[in-house]
A and B are shown apart, each in its own frame.
Chain A
């Protein structure tokens, strides 16, 4: 990775700033952004409301009128980032968790699997093995609460988004497009190719940790049968 330093800092209105480290998606930059975001968050600065890591940069949402920023929250935010970078980011291995996600890749849970397999010129079983055999990294949580964008799709499975999005995608649907995988937290509209479904709740506001995923997580998908899927649901 080239030197990890801010490329640009742009205002997100008067209550947030977005600091970008790359103009394209770079997995090393993304990993560094996640670690930096965790470090800034851990500072627990009283004027910081949220630290939001994205694909290639992070946003700091702040109280612009907090006495500790002396009327210049932009500079205070940049200084907080600079302090963290000077201190040094934690090593990648120390930072991330590994999450195992059971997925049923069968029948109505996987309406686009036959099409995806055909496009990849493999059998559906081979397509499942290719998907479940990869390690994924959560690049960003966005679009909906707990909705992860993950890198790591085997290049053989790279397919475009569907031409027409579905009006409703079932909660827990695991879907792919290009080099990424997502998991839908709620029944919402979506245009990605659905190849399976997890019985786990991706976002549960009643849990202490509502989001199953966090940016920076390593993710493994474990194929389960329909019977096992039903057991999880009980």
Chain B
């Protein structure tokens, strides 16, 4: 079974939850920029949360399935010829058009049985800087044929049959997109980074008072934040150290960079702040031109945010399991 790319959209890649345990050799986990949306999309298609799906960015694709296929599109509010955030049975041979995101930046199209490109280092995620994973390690283009599970049609029918309250090819309910902002600027909780104290009081204040704009050269490696340039008061050289998903570095040009899924594992730039892990998927939903604002937080608050996010996700997953009669 095959999924055909008729028109690729802006930046479409295969992603799952990433490859873990390789940061000591310089390879970041990568994977879905918004793992919450990926988990929900997969659950709606009857898959395990980390099953490989399509990550669709800002401008969506035109796709065609060989056979009837159960899918779900979750995340940014895309204009599409299918209802969002719910299971949908797409008829074989029909063209599925996904247009542009009215709100948010990324959505995940999960397919019953998953996208079965080969695993590389335990993951099907596309890692663009290294050119591996996904389909040939690259962004998807027109004419690509993505392999689906052999039994994807049977799985799709069997799962769709199990769903309660069906209407036509879908259901009258949907799950909320937790990570997609209702309004901007969004608030990102940030812990002071190792070098926060190297910036003077004005710079520190500017960091927390500015409404930062995500610049057009932002990508899966990092988001550059336009606003006042930040200058470090101390000029001694920083010895290269490890970085983390959500680290906010300030290079010499003073434009902060928030490290995203495909980030480098080490860096020699001062780290001004570290975004609370629960907030990183929300940042992934901000498109270039969108705005963010930082609020100071500590480890306790970060733990609360994780707990809230986990509770919301688990509640939604339980609801989906119930709809499948589990």
Q: Which residues of A contact B (CB under 8 A)?
A: 10-16, 18, 20, 22-25, 37, 41, 49-59, 61, 64-65, 71, 74, 140-147, 149, 185-186, 188, 203, 205-206, 210-211, 213-215
Contact = CB atoms under 8 A, between A and B. Distances in A.
A178 B192 CA distance: 32
Given A18-B241, A25-B239, A55-B241, A71 B303 contact: yes
Given A11-B299, A55-B240, A50 B24 contact: yes
B contact residues, range: 35 or more
A54 B241 contact: yes
B279 to A, nearest CB: 10
A20 B24 contact: no
A49 B21 contact: yes
A144 B221 CA distance: 11
B20 A50 contact: yes
B242 interface: yes
Given A16-B244, A74-B299, A140-B240, A10 B194 contact: yes
Interface in B8-65: 20-27
A164 B237 CA distance: 20
B306 A65 contact: yes
Interface string B281-316: 000000000000000000100110011001000000
B266 interface: yes
Given A13-B274, A142-B266, A205-B133, A18 B25 contact: no
A13 B275 contact: yes
B276 interface: yes
Nearest to A26: B239
A56 B268 CA distance: 12
A176 to B, nearest CB: 17
B152 interface: no
Interface in B240-259: 240-247
Given A54-B266, A203-B26, A211-B25, 5 more contacts: A12-B274, A61-B23, A206-B120, A206-B132, A210-B121
A144 B26 CA distance: 6
Which 7 residue pairs spanning A and B have beta carbons closest together? A142-B266, A13-B274, A59-B242, A211-B25, A14-B302, A50-B23, A145-B27
A20 B310 CA distance: 32
Contacts of A53: 24
A55 B268 CA distance: 10
A143 to B, nearest CB: 6
B265 interface: yes
Nearest to A38: B24
Given A142-B240, A143-B26, A14 B277 contact: yes
Nearest to B121: A205
B247 A12 contact: yes
Contact of A186 (B129, B246, B274, B303): B129
Contact of B120 (A16, A41, A54, A205): A205
13 contacts: A11-B191, A13-B245, A13-B246, A50-B24, A141-B265, A143-B264, A144-B130, A146-B26, A186-B129, A203-B130, A210-B27, A211-B26, A214-B24
Nearest to B237: A24
B265 A49 contact: no
Contacts of A11: 191, 274, 299
B241 A15 contact: no
B277 to A, nearest CB: 5
Nearest to B130: A145
B38 to A, nearest CB: 18
Contacts of A23: 239
B265 A142 contact: yes
Residue among A25, A58, A143 with the highest chain B CB neighbour number at 10 A: A143
B228 interface: no
Residue among A74, A205, A210 with the highest chain B CB neighbour number at 10 A: A205
